Amino acid sequence: MNTDRTFLEEGNRVFFELLNRLGGFCDNPSTPEARQLLSDIRAFLFERFEYEKKIMISRNSEDTWLHHEQHELMFNTLSWSIEMAQRDEMVCRSLYHYLDDWFRFHTENLDRTLCEPDSESLVFGLHSTGSGTS
């Protein structure tokens, strides 16, 4: 297994752990712990997006800038949503579901091609627990 794939797979595990923790805070998103977790999620995704961009640039991928634009759109949405989620339980739940759906789609359909174009999904066997549904 190559280094990029290992890094991305481990990152997926970390993200789903963060996401599962977020589900537990949706009933009270204004706590200091919830605010820190939302900040950690934002920092994690920023680092992850930068890593993916570096992989694509190093491989002269023709989809680099489209992928980057998708990250920018998601990150801008995330930043705004995090500010709102810290004040409102419904927004926190919506953010939880958005992150779960977006990250799953992103990793299943886009990130796997970063490492091996014909590889299986990097989220195989990983999932959120659905805690944000309360």
Q: CA-CA distance, 25 to 12, in Å (whole number)?
A: 20
pTM of the predicted model over 0.85? no
Report the candidate in 40, 69, 45 with the shortest Cα–Cα distance to residue 56.
Answer: 69
Mean of pLDDT values over 98-106: 86
Count other C-beta atoms under 10 Å from residue 122's C-beta: 21
CB under 8 A, 24+ apart: contacts of 10-13? 11/44, 11/48, 11/51, 12/103, 12/107, 12/122, 12/123, 12/126, 13/126
Q: What is the pLDDT of residues 28-76, one digit of tens each?
A: 999 999 999 999 999 998 898 888 888 888 878 777 888 788 888 888 8
Q: How confident is the model at residue 125 (pLDDT cuts 50, 70, 90)?
A: very low
User: Which pLDDT score, from 0 to 100, does residue 121 have?
Assistant: 42
Enumerate domains of the chain plus CATH numbers: 3-114 (1.20.120.50)
